[in-house]
Amino acid sequence: MRVLGFESSCDETGVALVEFTEQGCSPKLLADALHSQISMHQAYGGVVPELASRDHIRRVIPLTREVLARAQASLADVDVIAYTQGPGLAGALLVGAGVAVSLAAALGKPTMAVHHLEGHLLSPFLSSDPPEFPFVALLVSGGHTQLMRVDEVGSYELLGETIDDAAGEAFDKSAKLLGLPYPGGPHLAKLAESGNPEAFALPRPLMHSGKPDFSFAGLKTAVLTQVKRLGDAPTEQQRADLAASTQAAIVEVLLKKSLLALKESGLKRLVVAGGVGANRMLREQLNAACAKRGIRVHYPELSLCTDNGAMIAMAAALRLQRGIGATAPSGGGFEVRPRWALGEVS
Ligand code: KG4
Ligand code: ZN
């Protein structure tokens, strides 16, 4: 069976075609195409929701054509159409959902609504080293920071999450204070390469709470205080030091809480997903700490850490393989869920 998947929850339009056979065989990515709106939003220092929606409208059909052409397939070869139902920006979600449901209605094919974070969480199944269930998942994106226990596809138990900003948000907001372009995470990581991570003493909130929870809002305030202290003309080295210290603070907390969740659950497998999962320092530190404890760590391919259509088609394929059904073709009615907790997915 073949699943065509659409992702449009934020500032990336992603479309992909995934093929699967019976349970036990890994679904295969036949083709995917992505358009990132980053350069469009950069002028505003963040995502402008209405511009995002309009751009999704412009991109989604050409990307679909591209995916089908690359897979040497046609719409007649598609069996199920999947789309991100939430969480995300309402207007942006409506574009992908609208296209997916209309296409399904026109073709007489069923649809499957996918939770965006379930897509991230299952994205390592697209890698050459897919994980086995059960595992602990560290979901670190621009909007979410959560530790989940995952026993099977559709079985997600929240172990802990951020009480304020997400890890990606902490990267992005600190980067902005350092005068770096949006989205700041990768830029801050680059600047940090030439900095001293111990140069600035930044807070690690909730570090010793004894629970797998997070708080990053205070870090941003501490970075602001340091930026003000450095004045109008900080040297390149001072900026790099502050970037390195910020990254070290975020990574240390993510590492400590992941290890805590692993210890408490007794599981020996960690899956890291979401945009911040691309961070090299985070990967190095998790790899080293987990190797010592006999824990295996799985990541999505670097290109699939941030939003993409492949993870949505993949999540749908894994569900369908397990007999978690798709919705029969309807007259075209649908809803999106801008706010939607992963724990509500069954
Ligand atoms: O998963 P994602 O594409 O979007 C959401 O679903 O939110 O994650 C985007 C986030 C942004 O905050 C971005 O700055 C961050 O991931 N990010 C990184 C890196 N690459 C992306 N943060 C730190 N280091 C990176 N290398
Ligand atoms: Zn995402």
Q: Which residue, among 327, 323, 315, 336, has the nearest Cα to 150 in the 3D structure?
A: 315
pLDDT-based confidence at residue 327 (cuts at 50, 70, 90):
confident
Determine the average pLDDT of the residues in 17-25: 88
pLDDT at 345: 87
Question: How many Cα neighbours within 13 Å face the side chain of 201?
Answer: 0
pTM of the model: 0.95
Determine whether the shortest distance from the Cβ of 308 to ligand 1 is under 6 A: no
183 Cα to the center of ligand 1, angstroms:
7
Q: Which ligand is nearest to the CA of 144?
A: 1
100-157, pLDDT tens digit by residue?
A: 999 999 999 999 999 999 999 999 999 988 999 999 999 999 999 999 999 999 999 9
Closest Cα to atom 3 of ligand 1? 306
142 alpha carbon to ligand 2 midpoint, in Å? 7
**pLDDT tier for residue 332 given thresholds of 50, 70 and 90:** low
Q: Taking a C-beta distance cutoff of 8 angstroms, is the pair 266, 239 a contact?
A: no
Express each pLDDT in 210-256 by its tens digit: 999 999 999 999 999 999 999 999 999 999 999 999 999 999 999 99
Ligand in nearest proximity to the CA of 243? 1
pLDDT at position 136? 98
- Determine the average pLDDT of the residues in 285-312: 97
